[in-house]
Each structure stands twice: as structure tokens, then as C-alpha cells.
Amino acid sequence: MEHQVTNTLERIPVESAFAINSFEHAQRVAKMLASSDLVPKEFKGSVQNVMIALEISNRIGASPLMVMQNLYIVHGKPSWSSSFIIAALNACKRFSPLRFELTGEGDKMECYAWAFETSTNAKIVGPTVTMAMAKAEGWIDKNGSKWKTMPQLMIRYRSAAFFGRLYAPEILMGMHAQDEVVDMTAQVVGEEIQPGADLENGITVEALQALYNEKLNLLTKPEMERAKRILENKEVDSYQKLFKFLNEKQAA
């Protein structure tokens, strides 16, 4: 067991915030940044989140504040702002500044990002993003979707994200653009809660009520009363437990 731990630590680069010789210092820096009023709310008061931002900034060579300003936590997943992706690709010096080829209008609009690779001078073209794709993937129909109001900007942002993920995944570190994550998933963006996504852990009152109705005939009288009490009194702390209990309730 001890041997495994040593090996794991050895694999972490020395300059990493998580390296054994710099962890304590990084933790102190993280504590200071977490208490600053200038950091975004996802990082304020959260030493853990700041430590992750420090690690990322260390790996991509950007300032911690820049990383924090452009790193969004959506559904608990870190994701980059699209403008940061473009800036990071432009600054990495492996490519010329990113360019976009936009054709068509309305439903026929398409776009791809391109750049010259500096080592070979070859033109590199990213995948084409089309409005038909946006519609088929359901990005347009999301509540509050920016694809309805600013499609020309969104299509460029998405093209840049696709380009980056294909040609420079090490810069994105496997993360998606923030607007991509919003498009691909539902309900929560940061602290903003959309209608229907009532409470904890993505469990909605509606979903819980539906599950309760579905399992009603499998419940004993005390179980029914408890579930009813939790739902009627909106006992948020018990939602997770009730959800698990109802899910596991099977016909005898």
C-alpha cells in the first residue's frame, strides 16, 4: 500500500501544486486567493477549487487569476469560457491566430475554424459546425439558448472548441467550453436554477413525486406516510434518501 502511494506521488511533476514538496505552499496560496474578493464565486471560500485552478494554471502556463476568471463549474464539471479557448490557442504559438470561415445564413449557416501550423506552415482545418447540427443536437431548443439570439457568435465559439479539442487537446486538458456543457446538459448553470430543477443533487420535486406515485402500491403504510411527509414538508435534506429508497423498492 505504502509502495503504491509513493509511486503515485512520484508521477506528479515536481512543479505541480500537488507535488509533495510544494503542496503546503500551494495550499497557503490557495487559502489566500480563496479569501480574495476578486476571484469568481466558484472559487471564493473554496480552497479545494482554487488548488485545482492552481494546478491547471501551472500546467498550461497561465496566471491563476486568468484561469479562475475563465474556468466555469457547470454541473460540477470544470469547463473553459470559449473566449479563453481562442486566446489559449492563439497564445500557444503552435498555430497562427485562429480564423473562421463562415458561410450561408439562417438554417444554412456553417462555420469552421482554421489556422496555419507554425512548424509545417500547413493549413489546418477544424470540423465544420452547422446550424443543422445545432438543431439536431438540441442546442438551439434549450431554455435561454444563445443560439437563438446570437448564432453567428455561437457557431464560431463551437468551431473553435472543436478545433482545439482535435488539434490541441493538451491545452484544453480534456475540458469542454462552458457553452458546450450548457448545451449538452440541462437545468443548472452555475447557481442559476432553471424551472423544474428544484433542489439538491439534480433531484426535482416533480421527479420525486412521480417516482413516489409509481411505487405507491409497493409501500407499506408507515413508508407511505414518511414519503408523503418528506414531500409535503419539502424536507430537502431527505430527498436523496427518499429517491434512493424508492428506486430500490421492488415488488416482492
Residues that bind other proteins in the complex, under the rule CB under 8 A:
27, 45-48, 222-223, 225-227, 229-230, 233, 235, 237-238, 240-242, 245
Q: Name the E strands within 49-150.
A: 71-74, 77-80, 99-103, 110-116, 123-125, 129-130
CB of 48 to other proteins, least distance (A): 6
**Nearer residue to other proteins within complex by CB, 29 or 47:** 47
Using the minimum distance from each CB to other proteins, give the nearer residue, 141 or 225.
Answer: 225
CB of 242 to other proteins, least distance (A): 6
Which value, in Å, is the radius of gyration of the alpha carbons in the chain? 23
In the bound complex, what is the minimum distance in angstroms from residue 235's beta carbon to other proteins? 5
d(CA 104, CA 111): 9
Question: How far, in Å, CA of 232 to CA of 239, rounded?
Answer: 12
C-alpha cell at 183: 448545451
Tell me the C-alpha distance between 239 and 187, whole Å.
18
CA distances, 182 to each of 147, 168, 186, 194 (Å): 12, 22, 7, 12
Cell readout for 233 is 414538508
CB atoms within 10 A of CB 52: 19
Tell the smallest beta-carbon distance from residue 52 to other proteins (Å).
11
| Whole-angstrom distance, CA of residue 158 vs CA of residue 109 | 13
The smaller minimum CB distance to other proteins, of residues 98 and 246, is found at: 246
Nearer residue to other proteins within complex by CB, 108 or 241: 241
Give the nearer residue to other proteins in terms of CB position, either 25 or 135: 25
Nearest distance from C-beta of residue 47 to other proteins, angstroms: 5
